Copies of this chain bind each other. A is one copy, B any other.
Amino acid sequence: MGKPSDQQLSRRDLLRIGLTTTAAGILTGGLELALPAPAQAQAQDPLPSWKDGAAKKAIFEFVRTTTDQSSAKFVPPEQRIATFDQDGTLWVEHPMYSQVVYCLDRVPAVVKAKPELANVEPFETVMSGNREAIAKLPTEDLVKILAATLTGMSVADFEAEVGQWIGTARDPRWKRPYTELTYVPMTEALQYLRANGYKTYIVTGGGQDFVRMYSEKVYGILPEQVVGTAGGTTYGYDKNGRPFLTKDPKLLLNDNNAGKPEGIHLMIGRRPYAAFGNSTGDREMCEYTKAGDGDRLAMMVLHDDAQREYAYGPAQGLPDTKVGTFTQALYEEAKSKGWVVISMKNDWKQIFAWET
């Protein structure tokens, strides 16, 4: 991206702005600590949902090498940064990014507040409930929906609206809160890295303010460690002279593709030692991470488990859906550059916390 305001959001970017939560009960708001966990925590397998294999081994090796003071590749604790894409990496992104579901769900309230929109596109189509027609809305219409539902209100109102939605919305397949659709192996990886002094960040194409609403509760990641697609705010005063921030439609950071390393520089200020993604949108983040000296880890989640979750993407000769595209070229690049591909089917014993 580079110059956000010059940028056009692609349709995929827009869909990507929709995020949601997962892994509800597993993590209960545990704080990030920059200190090693007590020794007994390491005695058991810290990644019990991972099958033995190259992926699990890569994580163990990386942590061992970078935290062993006698290792030539030892990383001082203050430099231990690990970044995680969210949609498709930490939780389900198929068939639609949860934040897009949120935006569509918010349209009735927007139309109620501004009845003149009821007969204006794209609001009329969204209000019709015709999913096929909604799925075909052109990019400029999606922009209008995102702008109408994510900007123009105070930060406090936005947070109240998102909080309400997260507490009540259910995904269509499992009929569970989106916050229960997180991947147990990835929450284990987050915890394991934190237990070894890594500061974990979400670096998402989704909306920064949206993800911050649940990241602490769901992933144990504090708001200040969420980097996402971000718009500006405007400081102003209410009628009582009390200051508040209003969310602007102005885009400051489109946190996808090249925008991920750019966002990491803006928000964190240094190169990660580990990066986790699942699509072409995470390619540059992995590339940037691996370009650092010492031992760096890049991992890519492959959605190849149609039964327990979903299987999609050209890397497997499967359809390219609108979410998290994993191309054949990306697959080959990952293999050639030592980025570790995680097979959900073969590397994960368990995917969701509620599986029996």
Centre residue among A35, A81, A266 by max chain B CB count within 10 A: A266
User: Would you call A243 and B78 a contact (CB within 8 A)?
Assistant: no
- Measured as residues with beta carbon below 8 angstroms from the partner, the interface class of chain A is 35 or more
A290, closest chain B residue (CB):
B243
> Across the interface, do B291 and A226 meet the contact criterion of CB distance under 8 Å?
no
- Cα A250 to Cα B3 with chains together (Å): 7
Number of copies: 2
- Measured CB to CB, the closest approach of chain B to A141, in angstroms, equals 24
User: Would you call B31 and A287 a contact (CB within 8 A)?
Assistant: no
Contact of A224 among B31, B250, B258, B269 (CB under 8 A): B269
Residues A5 and B5 in contact, CB atoms below 8 Å apart: yes
Tell me if B34 and A78 are in contact (CB < 8 A).
no
A226 vs B266: C-alpha distance in the bound complex, in angstroms?
10
A288: chain B residues within 8 A (beta carbon): 235, 243
Q: Is A122 an interface residue (CB 8 A)?
A: no
Are B248 and A261 within 8 A (Cβ)? no
Q: Indicate if A242 sits at the interface (CB-CB under 8 A).
A: yes
Inter-chain contact B224/A266, CB cutoff 8 Å: no
Bound Cα distance from A242 to B223, whole angstroms: 32
Within the complex, the shortest CB–CB distance from A227 to chain B, in Å, comes to: 10
Contact with B along A197-230 (1 / 0, CB 8 A): 0010000000011001000100000111010001
